[in-house]
Structure 1
Amino acid sequence: MTAIIFSDYRLICGFMDDCKNDINILKCGSIRPGEKDAHSQGEVVACLEKGLVKEAEENDPRIKVSDECKKAILRVAELSSDDFHLDRHLYFACRDDRERFCENTQAGEGRVYKCLFNHKFEESMSEKCHDALTTRQKLIAQDYKVSYSLAKSCKSDLKKYRCNVENLPRSREARLSYLLMCLESAVHRGRQVSSECQGEMLDYRRMLMEDFSLSPEIILSCRGEIEHHCSGLHRKGRTLHCLMKVVRGEKGNVGLNCQQALQTLIQETDPGADYRIDRALNEACESVIQTACKHIRSGDPMILSCLMEHLYTEKMVEDCEHRLLELQYFISRDWKLDPVLYRKCQGDASRLCHTHGWNETTSDLMPTGAVFSCLYRHAYRTEEQGRRLSRECRAEVQRILHQRAMDVKLDPALQDKCMIDLGKWCSEKTETGQELECLQDHLDDLVVECRDIVGNLTELESEDIQIEALLMRACEPIIQTFCHEMADNQIDSGDLMECLIQNKHQKEMNEKCAIGVTHFQLVQMKDFRFSYKFKMACKEDVLKLCPNIKKKVDVVICLSTTVRNDTLQDAREQRVSLKCRKQLRVEELEMTEDIRLEPELYEACKSDIKNNCPNVPYGNAQIIECLKENKKRLSNRCHQKVFKLQENEMMDPELDYTLMRVCKQMIKRFCAEADSKNMLQCLKQNKNNEVMDPKCKQMITKRQITQNTDYRLNPVLRKACKQDIPKFCQNILSTAKDDAELEGQVVSCLKLKYADQRLSPDCEDQIRVIIQESALDYRLDPQLQMHCSDEISRLCAEEAAAQEQTGQVEECLKVNLLKIKPEMCKKEVLNMLKESKADIFVDPVLHTACALDIKHHCAAIPPGRGRQMSCLMEALEDKRVRLQPECKKRLNDRIEMWSYAAKVAPAEGFSDLAMQVMTSPSKNYILSVITVSICVLFLIGLLCGRITKRVTRELKDR
């Protein structure tokens, strides 16, 4: 009976009355004149259905279906939803396809419809059937009751959760979208929705995602975009993903209405809850899911999260990557589209962000990304700062942040505020993760709104560097080996990045990770807030002592200067707090590793680096070391900065990154208990220990050479000789410049006064050590090296080339004294001879040769002031004493040299004269003559009386 009634629209009660005018207007009364098929009357209903659909899609005033007819059409469609035979047009259009695809599907309860829907995009599906099925689906989109299975399965749930027609907002129909969103809301709130209803919802959500034409808003708002960018892509959701790609900005611009229509469709279909809803994504990512996410149940919301975690890895395929990012773009703009986030954070959002529930009206009132922004602001609050997120919600917020860091387009606020800057500064940065790095590099050039967003994100990264998912992936080996404890902590607080920085030069470190860590260090220099631990430890101190200073390097300098001044002035109480001083130390040490972390030095030396260190890597302080080695070739500005740097390093050797790195093991062995300020002094004292590492020994020598170029670079000497230097070397100080080396002039001046035995005891001790070291290694005497470099190359090349310097070059110069031509070089060698007279310890060759004789003949005589040298000279003259042959030979050589020196450089004072007499081979004769002369003078005065005449007392007193 129903088949007969539905075969002719005139037999349907009231239909003709309601739709008579519409049939005439739409010209549906005579489809094919002259023919009268058995199903021709079904074509009238089909024509009206198409008119109803067209009205919604085109918004054309000429195509208008009356409300009464509209209801009648949807009612007829609803009544025919049970059995596809009742839809005469669809039945005749699809009967062959039904036999092909749904042969075993029993008619009734909408089963054949559903089967045909599932095969709509098959290649062998006829075009007539495809069009009829699409029209049917469009009617379902307008009224969910046109789907028998959906209406039946969800009837009780619709009533239970007040999603039925009576509760619809005014002037809205029973649209499929409203039904889906209302029931999805119940599911996300943890309410029970029957499995049959959820299954039906899944089918129809998938249907909407597969075919864009089922959403009239998309056709109406995105027609231009579809024609220009996405023509020919009409199957399996490809058109929608093409539009998503356009919205992401990868294929051109898109209108606001189209973007809003797409966002609404994503809200309706909710593919974040089940990736299978998005057929294009499902097919593109199937292989990735089977390999990387096989441990997660099919249809679980965490599948999408798993795919995001494997973005840009070897397991990800390109097509899946594109589809995933296109979908995530929309999910990131509505926190409700991530079901796990919503479920874990709905209570926190209501409590902290003033969102009350989730329904279709809230999305219109809430700005894009506003709720999530609120959540992540609370996620990183401390207990002192007030209300915080629950642990579960915080974990989800962190997960989302980690995923969004993969692509700037996944951060709505960042993309919105920084669109102009991205185009201006970062248009060429197309590689993964480069856009955010580019924005950070140009932080000072960005517009205010963008700078604030990038600054806040960078500040967040400093607390939880795992947000930088790409960096974490690159650093996985080093994290697992050295930093796994920090990585396992739910609350990072900057510990993980600090660990990565400390282990940046381990052999396990790969290039990508090292570059990423260094980049983050460079970004941190732009604002002290970007160093979380430093900010937390020192924020009160910065506000009090360094207000209005923003850049981290300036804050470090400000606080370091305050600490140093308080220390030098023996302040009763340090102005910088203890916790800040500890973290300040960490920051100071980190900055020494790369010249780029010291912007002032780097800017001053850029051209010098290019000229003198073109292929030297920045890491491990190699550029800084290169500049030190080429100091004489640097520009004045760079030279001054390097000198200041060396002065700071010598005052605090722990800031000397290269020394600390090369001598790390030796410091542990010899200087474990030494104060950091005395580290270099300790290493110098143990330099000649037989177990000293050769590389460390070489580095200590380098630092000694540097120290001897200028007394200001030797804090111990400077302190010991603070009275002697102005007293004896004032003429040198008066010509000195603040940031230029004195090339060892002050040290040479003090050496000469040491030979004259005029220095204070503390200063004398320090100079003795310097003379001893210089006597073993000519490179430690800057004046000798400066004036005698040519002579050393000519006369002592073999000795200078020796790997271990033990005084051979100095001995060679002494032996060849007569062959030396330049007067300044000759003077330096003569000064060496003069110094050696003062103490045998400063003549290593002689001291080594005579060590046994000193032990046997001069053991009771204390060293210093030429006493032991005089003892040896007396032993040489004493016929009863037999000295070692080598000692005897060396002593005779020295006597000859001193004799020549006395001729070339006469005594400059009584002390020089006395020393010459004491070291002369005819010392006894000279002393005898002097004694006899004094005695004769005394006798003459005694025997011959006075020479002057006597005078009266009165004349004397006048």
Structure 2
Amino acid sequence: MRLLVLFVVTLFSVRRASGAEKGSQLGNKKTLIAEQPECAEDVRKICKDQVSNNLNVLECLQNSQLIWKYKHDLTHSDRFQDAALDLCKGDLEKVPCKPENKDNFISCLLEHKFNITSFKCHQFLGKVATIIFSDYNMIQKFTDSCQNDIEKLKCGRMNFDENALHSQGRTISCLSQHFEDLSNNCQHEILRIAELQSDDFHLDRPLYFACREDREKFCADVHAGEGRVYTCLLRNKNKKGMSDECKEKLFLREKLIMQDYKISHGLVKACRQDIRNNQCRRGTSSNREIKLAQILICLEGATLKGKHVAGECEAEMALHRRMLLEDKNLTPDLLAACSEEIENFCNSHSIDGSILSCLMDHAVPSHQNFSGTGGYTVGPQCIRQVEDLLKVTDASEDWRVDPILEESCQRVVDSSCSSVQPGEGRVIQCLMTKLNSPHMEPACKAALLRLMYFVARDFSLDAQLYKYCHNNAEKFCNAKKDWAEVTKTTDPERGLVTLSCLYHVAYHPTKEKKLDKKCAPEVKRVMRQRALSVDLNPEVEEQCLPDLASKCSSDIEEGDEMECLQDNLEFLEEKCRIAVKNFTIEEVEHRELNPSLTLHCDDIINRYCEDYLDEDSENGDVLECLIAHKREFEVRTSPKCLATIEHFQLISLKDYSFSPKFKESCDHDVMLLCPDLMQHSSTRHKAEIVACLSGKIWQAAIEGKKPELGHKCLDELRSQLLQQQSDIRLNPFLQQSCQTDIDHYCKDVAHTEGKVLECLRENRKFLTKLCQQEIFKADAIAMADNQLDFALVTDCKHMIKRYCSQEDNDHLLECLKSHKDTAEWVNFDQKCKRIIATRMIERSSDIRLNPSLHKACDLEMTKFCAKVILNEIEFSEGKMVACLRDQLIAKKLRPSCEEELANLMKESALDIRQNPTLMNACKFEIKMCINGAQKLEEYSEGEIEECLKAQFVKHAIINDTCKQEVAKLVEAGEADIMADPILYRACSQDIHSHCPGIDHGRGRWLSCLLNVLDENQEHLSSPCSEKLISRKAMFEYAAKVAPIAVETVQELVNQAWSSPSRSYFLIVLTVFVAFIFLGGLFFGRATKRLRAELKNK
């Protein structure tokens, strides 16, 4: 009952609040209602003689018909119009309302209330509006325009409800609920009434009564008028404690606001000047309804262009944008376009209010495939409506306008982006930078990627990008001039053309096309964001949906789809392969497009690769730098960074273009030297090109020539080959050929630091033939250019720096080996010692692994050793060296070849492992020398060979093959003392003393020493004399065991002259000639004498 009293007082009191206060005191003081100054006159007129009893007065006032009749007569009386003329006379010139038109005069004043400045007139019209809007029959034109709709929708039946409180606008409320079903004229009247009610929420009676308690709870300090209470209620409608009845009425109000922005008094008042300045009503009449979307798009466009928009207007815009993104306010067009999608996917989401989020989630095609929802996708009409809604609300500009995003990301923003000022997309940009951080929550990540999926497909939806790049986009990319321009066709912004164009200009500028300083960073920022997920990269995603579904749908973490596509590049469909290839090329050249690199390797990049960060176009320099520092402690202890680097190395093998510096440096050389590989228009595998070019290096080394490659290409090729040596996975031919052997012999060996390759080398004798061939290729390249030997340059890094920093690449091993016999060898790194010995053993196994020997003896190999087949790419186990050794013994080699061969034999004498033929022939005898107690490498230099020679001279070697090999060793030492390092060390001083000026070749030094020995043994030093005596016995026995085949007289002479018994041969020959001479002298002629004529005949 008290409420009714308040209502009556509200109608007729000049001071509404004062009346309510006094009305509340009636019961306390038990005074008569009829005696109250505010009510006395009205009670006497309406209730006449019932004024002495308050109950009778209240009963009288509850008579709906009576009250309605009184209000109707009041609003149609001349006194009512006279009051309006008196109070509003000063403003009549400002409005098009004529007093002569009595039926519409009051309604006209109400429609133009916002143009009236008189306080008394405003106050009067406010009271009139309260009376009029309490019943639709008192609203001019409304009954005529909506009568049919009222009857059709049965919205007039509530007038007869006694509890309806004089209708209180329920008919209008009912019609508002069915707004889409109304006739055009009735829709117009409903919107006009809502606009008139927008000033004061008391005028919307159903909303007023539904929200009275909510107003006191949430908006107690807000004064009514100018739409302030509406705005306050709208801001708080989703808070806990807001009643469902109030929410429902506010929802109806919002639906009308969407149809005509003027219904929101707060928006109209705050943005009136901005709407006028930006001509947002251009082309429309003043009384035509303008949808909220049109105004918001217009004002957002002005903001993005840098035009000033009042702060109060921006706040109202944000409120209304948020309103549009709530499920209950989804536009009829969107609901109609997405009806099937909502039924199929999002029916259950209507309960929790996330229909729009559901539609956005299912609009991502890859999500359909990953989630297994089948082939049904969100239709283009539905997607377009979602895009239009996102553009109207400009959700990416302020994260708070999206309720789901705000709820999901509030904690993340508080922890990681609290210092970022909202607006212009700054908070969303901050969240994108934290997408893979530990602070990111799954719900926030999902909501963020859901929104960014659409932003990535519309250039205009990114506030910062549009603000700074619109002029460039318009100038270079034919983008639309006006952000607010609406088109139903595929335009540059929506068709991805604009962003692709800006990207191309940003990374490949010319004199004519170059982005502004503020635009270029924004383009790069967007490209970084797009690289975070394949869904944000439409150029790739749209081309690769089938491949994503078939190859990257299981066991793939979110965000790893691009790496999956790259790993399967050769198996992708053509369109997808091209898209992934293009993206990978850009990703390699610009590190910001590689999120894993920036996330996991940023600190390492800043430490080791800082010099490459300031360049406009990195051209892959940062990745190359990381590869070069892959063995640094920081990289090795950062598994994710190391994995990222190795992933790049592996995918770079799939296409030559993925290594931009290599491609740029070697394009010409590849075309010239490997034309067959360049004829294929499809993917050009880098591994094939590296194999081709490296073969040219080896061939040039064998021929003793400089490689035909350019200097830059040679440097890049060395880098690629060094990577192959360090990780067998980067040499696909080797890995494929040796996979069985790897599984058998090197199963537990790490792929890094060349360990697998070294393991295979250690087990080369047991490898399959195919694997041996590939190992031979790798060894051949490393021997041709020692800088390509990863293990050598790694294990001997400090020794190289100390002793061989000035040496050429092809002499690096020789330089290190040359210090082996010096006193400094003691200070050598032990790992370096071992790798040098290993490489020397490998080099001795095949002459092709010894380019200097191959070059020096090329003629001899052709002339004397053609029977040794070297055309197969496999190890010859020293066969060619053995053949050349036989020619050394026969003294058929040229000095240059003899010198190189003697050096090789000297090394093999010091380390028997470098003589594969001897190792194979004398396995048992070698075991006898070491007694199985030690490893061969643990014996001192030359000790094992001396042991075999000692057994040989003692006739202890039974194996004929071994005996032959040892005999040839002895004979080789006889042919060139340099091939017998133990003898040479013992007699080096004696040679300088007794054989000055004599070349060492063809046994000359040894012959000299033997002559001295024969003449006077005391002239020689004791060690030399002892060694010569023992060697002389060996020479004699070796000549019997392995006599040298003599094929010509010259060879016979040479053999006799080089023999230790040449003096004996000379004496015998002299005695023979003397005997013939003496015989002729004493015994006369041996033939019969003839006459002279017979001789002349």
Partner of 2:395: 271
SS of alignment partner, residue 473 of structure 1:
helix
- Residue by residue over 1:165-210, the C-alpha shift from the partner in whole angstroms, topping out at 9 and shown as x without a partner, is 74499x9941111111111011111111111111110111122224
Q: How do residues 276-315 of structure 1 correspond to structure 2 at under 5 angstroms?
A: 276-315=400-439
The offset of 1:368, in angstroms, is 3.4
- 888-897 or 778-787: bigger deviation: 888-897
Q: CA separation in 1, counterparts of 2:911 and 2:774?
A: 28
Q: Does 1:511 align with 2:639?
A: yes
- Contact kept? 1:709, 1:743, Cα under 8 Å: yes
Q: CA separation in 2, counterparts of 1:99 and 1:187?
A: 36
Q: How do residues 572-721 of structure 1 correspond to structure 2 at under 5 angstroms?
A: 583-584=716-717, 586-689=719-822, 690=825, 691-721=827-857
1:417 to 543, 562, 568: 543
Partner of 1:722: 858
2:914 to 780, 784, 804: 780
Q: CA separation in 2, counterparts of 1:957 and 1:440?
A: 102
Partner of 1:342: 466
- Contact kept? 1:477, 1:508, Cα under 8 Å: no
The one-letter amino acid paired with 1:15 is: F
Distance 1:3 1:315, change over 3 A: same
SS of alignment partner, residue 807 of structure 2:
coil
Partner of 1:58: none
The offset of 1:627, in angstroms, is 3.3
Distance 1:518 1:951, change over 3 A: farther
Alignment: residue pair count: 942
Q: Does 1:327 align with 2:460?
A: no
- 858-867 or 718-727: bigger deviation: 858-867
Partner of 1:820: 957
SS of alignment partner, residue 138 of structure 1:
helix
Q: How do residues 532-543 of structure 1 correspond to structure 2 at under 5 angstroms?
A: 532-539=660-667
Distance 1:378 1:950, change over 3 A: farther
Partner of 2:123: none
Distance 1:507 1:928, change over 3 A: same
The offset of 1:870, in angstroms, is 4.1
The offset of 1:923, in angstroms, is 7.9
Q: CA separation in 2, counterparts of 1:185 and 1:713?
A: 72
The offset of 1:929, in angstroms, is 5.8
- Contact kept? 1:237, 1:279, Cα under 8 Å: no
- 205-214 or 865-874: bigger deviation: 865-874
SS of alignment partner, residue 239 of structure 2:
coil
1:806 to 941, 949, 965: 941
- Contact kept? 1:524, 1:530, Cα under 8 Å: yes
Q: CA separation in 2, counterparts of 1:402 and 1:606?
A: 38
Q: CA separation in 2, counterparts of 1:408 and 1:364?
A: 25
Distance 1:948 1:441, change over 3 A: farther
The offset of 1:77, in angstroms, is 0.9
Partner of 1:845: 982
Q: CA separation in 1, counterparts of 2:976 and 2:471?
A: 85
The offset of 1:883, in angstroms, is 5.7
Q: CA separation in 1, counterparts of 2:805 and 2:301?
A: 65
The one-letter amino acid paired with 1:640 is: Q
- 695-704 or 213-222: bigger deviation: 213-222
Distance 1:951 1:669, change over 3 A: farther
Partner of 1:71: 188
Q: How do residues 538-549 of structure 1 correspond to structure 2 at under 5 angstroms?
A: 538-539=666-667, 546=675, 547-549=678-680
The offset of 1:604, in angstroms, is 3.4
- Residue by residue over 1:111-167, the C-alpha shift from the partner in whole angstroms, topping out at 9 and shown as x without a partner, is 211222222222322211111111111111111111111011111111211112744
- Aligned-pair RMSD on alpha carbons? 3.4
- Contact kept? 1:39, 1:88, Cα under 8 Å: no
Partner of 2:141: 14
The offset of 1:924, in angstroms, is 6.7
Partner of 2:659: 531
Q: CA separation in 2, counterparts of 1:177 and 1:121?
A: 22
2:588 to 449, 452, 462: 462
The offset of 1:543, in angstroms, is 6.3
- Contact kept? 2:792, 2:835, Cα under 8 Å: yes
Higher gyration radius (CA): 2
SS of alignment partner, residue 723 of structure 1:
helix
Partner of 1:442: 568
Partner of 1:199: 315
The offset of 1:882, in angstroms, is 6.9
Distance 1:35 1:705, change over 3 A: same
The offset of 1:765, in angstroms, is 0.6
The offset of 1:827, in angstroms, is 1.3
Gaps of 5+ in 2: 1-126
Distance 1:918 1:259, change over 3 A: closer
Distance 1:416 1:638, change over 3 A: same
Q: CA separation in 2, counterparts of 1:356 and 1:325?
A: 26
Distance 1:807 1:953, change over 3 A: farther
- Residue by residue over 1:447-502, the C-alpha shift from the partner in whole angstroms, topping out at 9 and shown as x without a partner, is 22222211211121232132011222222232122111212333222211221222
- 764-773 or 622-631: bigger deviation: 622-631
Q: CA separation in 2, counterparts of 1:562 and 1:387?
A: 42
- Contact kept? 2:137, 2:143, Cα under 8 Å: yes
Q: CA separation in 2, counterparts of 1:940 and 1:102?
A: 152
The offset of 1:320, in angstroms, is 2.0
TM-score (norm 1): 0.90
Distance 1:880 1:831, change over 3 A: closer
Partner of 2:71: none
The one-letter amino acid paired with 1:269 is: T
- Contact kept? 1:210, 1:236, Cα under 8 Å: no
The one-letter amino acid paired with 1:777 is: D
Q: How do residues 79-90 of structure 1 correspond to structure 2 at under 5 angstroms?
A: 79-90=196-207
Partner of 1:23: 150
- Contact kept? 1:861, 1:867, Cα under 8 Å: yes
Q: CA separation in 1, counterparts of 2:1032 and 2:284?
A: 119
- Residue by residue over 1:849-887, the C-alpha shift from the partner in whole angstroms, topping out at 9 and shown as x without a partner, is 445555665567654443443454455556671765555
Partner of 2:46: none
1:317 to 410, 419, 441: 441
Q: CA separation in 1, counterparts of 2:420 and 2:261?
A: 32
Q: CA separation in 1, counterparts of 2:459 and 2:166?
A: 50
Distance 1:5 1:952, change over 3 A: farther
- Contact kept? 1:649, 1:656, Cα under 8 Å: yes
1:869 to 977, 1001, 1006: 1006
Gaps of 5+ in 1: 56-63
Q: How do residues 51-62 of structure 1 correspond to structure 2 at under 5 angstroms?
A: 51-52=178-179, 55=180
Partner of 1:744: 878
The offset of 1:226, in angstroms, is 4.5
Partner of 2:359: 243
TM-score (norm 2): 0.79
- Contact kept? 1:406, 1:432, Cα under 8 Å: no
- Contact kept? 1:405, 1:469, Cα under 8 Å: yes
Q: CA separation in 2, counterparts of 1:517 and 1:117?
A: 53
- Contact kept? 1:652, 1:677, Cα under 8 Å: yes
- Contact kept? 1:137, 1:214, Cα under 8 Å: no
Q: Does 1:948 align with 2:1092?
A: no
- Contact kept? 1:168, 1:174, Cα under 8 Å: no
The offset of 1:431, in angstroms, is 1.5
The one-letter amino acid paired with 2:331 is: S
Q: Does 1:768 align with 2:902?
A: yes
- Contact kept? 1:666, 1:696, Cα under 8 Å: yes
The offset of 1:663, in angstroms, is 3.1
Distance 1:486 1:40, change over 3 A: same
